[in-house]
A and B are shown apart, each in its own frame.
Chain A
Amino acid sequence: MRKTLITCVAGAALLAALPFLLSQGLLNAAIQMLIAALFASAYNLLCGQAGMLSFGHAAYFGVGAFATVHAMNAVGGAGLLPTPLMPLAGALGGLVFGAIAGWFATQRSGTYFAMITLAIAELVHSLAPHLKGVFGGEAGISTMRMPTWGYDFGSTTQVYYLTLAWVLTAMALLYLYTRTPLGRLTLGLRENSHRLKFLGYNVHGLSTLVFAISAMFSGMAGGLQVLSNESANYVVFDPSLSAAAVLNTYIGGVQVFLGPAFGAALMTFFGYAISDLTRSWLLYQGILFVLVMMFLPTGLTGLIAITGRLRERHAPARLMPLFVLAAACAVLAGAGTVFTIELLQRLFSQEYRALMQAGAGGPWPAVALFDRSWQPGSPATWGVPLLLFGAAALLYWRCRQILNALADGEPAPSGPAPAQHSEESA
């Protein structure tokens, strides 16, 4: 427990020091990462903890965003609240809309619930362009951060600290929530909502409340984004944002409290860093998600638990080769995938088609990739990814061998695996 607390404080300190370590551009990315992390954690409250899979969570993020932008523009531009307190408007918007939507949605469970959330999100998404007064038109609604309490909130650094303060507070609240009666009941909703009824609980009321709280923090995240971007646009209701929440949360892993936040931060960072380098960034994200769902259901943070379990049973000396091989396998497979997709990307792009038409009849023109020129017809070009995948497959096979050997070699466990349930699936 103490170790976790020290780690958290250290992490917060590191985050606080970032403005001195990063450029303005990267600091902006850090703000987006924080917001995405909060949104994913809010989403996880509903899907990972309460077991209610929502596919339209962008609606609450968006409602919070617009609530905030209107609050900022109210009173002739002076704002309904002091600038640092603006995310509360987002939280309130998310809470109210979430309560209404949740009341409807939680009347059903499972797949029906998922579809209702999707329909609600699509309803808002299709309605928004028509309600220009509320959502602005295609240009959206813009606003300005007003100076308050001696700060002018003009610089990225100030916005960063504001965002950081809110996100840390919200994450702390979300964590403390898991230690409250409602927080434990949330897990009960996931595990067996049927039994809860027979224990005297109003399951519909509970589900609605949990939904509303999740929507509240989502709205807060939306408000933070408006503060940072100084604008809100109905594009925020796009299904891709809801999709991003789902992908980030599960790639990160729902078993660990900070899993979704980690997944969101990682994916946002990669999106920021790589989307300039490739047009297929979303494809990579989708592939990663599917791979995680198929082979690593507990997400990337689940790797921590897996390696922890392995370390308990085996000496580090025997495990090191396994970890090295596994890492190498992942890198090689990743490289092979990237190479193939980037090659295909270029082969099928408009520019290449134009080139082909220009040189019609002759051999296919070369493709520029990774600062080298590759001939589509030559076997060397296709040999590279084949080699990479082949090597990855070999390493994968070897890893499986080692895992099997470890499993066979160890003595049968004397009791159940020690339950790490004091900080369990929060």
Chain B
Amino acid sequence: MSDPILALHGLRKSFGPTDIIRGVDLQVRTGERHALIGPNGAGKSTLFHLVSGQLAPSSGAIRFEGREIGGRTPQAINRRGLARSFQITNIFPRLSTYENVRLAVMRAHGLQYAFWKFIDRDRRIREETGRLLDLVRLAAKAGSVAGEMAYSEQRSLEIAMTLASDPRLILLDEPMAGMSHDETEYTSQLIREISAGRTLMIVEHDMDVVFSLSDRISVLVYGQVIATGTPAEIRAHAGVREAYLGDEATP
């Protein structure tokens, strides 16, 4: 059994007197699709913020590929191979879709401070950007203004940007939020494709998606993980049913 790609030990986060994350132990295995579910206010987004560097832990350890990343800056964590998407679409609204993806791609090719070369001439960047746009089926919308696209297209763009740095661990924060059934199907399939060869951690409320997509599920309630296991195990878990799932009709 190889080491987990992401390991949280005794992770805590408080804002003043309020404890949001109250001692989380979690391990994500390399190559798996791991879902994080739980009621609203459980702290799922806060957990993502802690892992991606937006927040620093109050105590406890976050280890990515064996190295401590708790408290590091978001850019340092991203360069280590971890990328996240956002629940509320976080793109460059007035730039074109193509430009959005290209900005994400440039960093991965080391183009940050370069003011001595022309970006349009760089074939690698052009091809990589095109490849990502094809992957998320947005090639036709390359010239559109990103902020004016349909919501689901913006969510696809969000995913493309997250992929651009070729991360080994992807965190997707409610990628299906606000989508219709067809859009959810489509995005679900997309996520399956892009997570091939990578590790995925996803927060979602749509239980059909969660149970069909994930290899393992962790349930976060009130700042603590109360259960981790395969979809079948979680479905049968009494504590989870009581806290979150309820007694739905068995499929």
* B-binding residues in A (CB < 8 A): 176-177, 179-185, 187-188, 191-192, 194-203, 205-206, 209, 213, 416, 419, 421, 424-425
Contacts and interface: CB of A to CB of B under 8 A. Distances in A.
B144 A181 contact: no
B145 A421 contact: yes
| Chain A interface SS verdict (over half) | helix
Interface string B140-168: 00011100100000000000010011000
16 contacts: A180-B114, A180-B118, A180-B119, A182-B112, A183-B119, A184-B103, A184-B106, A184-B119, A191-B94, A198-B90, A199-B75, A199-B165, A200-B165, A205-B113, A416-B145, A416-B148
A200 B84 CA distance: 11
Given A416-B148, A419-B96, 7 more contacts: A181-B106, A182-B114, A188-B95, A200-B78, A205-B112, A209-B113, A416-B145
A336 B115 CA distance: 49
Given A184-B103, A188-B92, A191-B95, A198 B52 contact: yes
A184 B117 CA distance: 12
Contacts of B219: none
B79 interface: yes
Nearest to A203: B75
B9 to A, nearest CB: 24
A395 to B, nearest CB: 34
Nearest to B114: A181
A181 B116 CA distance: 9
A187 B93 CA distance: 11
Given A416-B148, A419-B143, A199 B116 contact: no
A194 B111 CA distance: 18
Q: Which 6 A-B pairs have the closest CB atoms?
A: A191-B92, A200-B78, A181-B111, A182-B115, A197-B74, A200-B107
Contacts of B148: 416
B115 A213 contact: yes
A179 B119 CA distance: 6
Contacts of B93: 191-192
A192 B84 contact: no
Contacts of A421: 95-96, 99, 143, 145
B102 interface: yes
Nearest to B107: A200
B92 A192 contact: yes
Contacts of A191: 92-95
B178 to A, nearest CB: 19
Contacts of A213: 115
B20 interface: no
B106 A198 contact: no
Given A191-B95, A195-B91, A421-B143, A180 B116 contact: yes
B104 interface: yes
B145 A419 contact: yes
B113 A206 contact: yes
Contacts of B74: 197-198
A184 B52 CA distance: 25
Contacts of B189: none
B14 interface: no
Nearest to A187: B95
A199 B103 contact: yes
A198 B76 CA distance: 9
Contact of B115 (A177, A197, A198): A177
B73 to A, nearest CB: 7
A203 to B, nearest CB: 7
B115 A180 contact: yes
Contacts of B92: 187-188, 191-192, 195
A196 B114 CA distance: 16
B182 interface: no
Contacts of A205: 112-113
Nearest to A213: B115
Contacts of A176: 118
Given A419-B143, A421-B145, A199 B113 contact: no
B91 A185 contact: no
Contact of B117 (A180, A187, A192): A180
Given A197-B75, A199-B103, A201-B75, A179 B112 contact: no
Given A180-B117, A184-B119, A419-B143, A201 B112 contact: yes
B90 A182 contact: no
A120 B119 CA distance: 34
Contact of A198 (B83, B108, B111): B83
A33 B118 CA distance: 30
B120 interface: yes
A195 B90 contact: yes
Nearest to B121: A179
A200 B118 CA distance: 21
Contact of A197 (B73, B102, B108, B144): B73
A46 B73 CA distance: 25
A179 B115 contact: no
A67 to B, nearest CB: 22
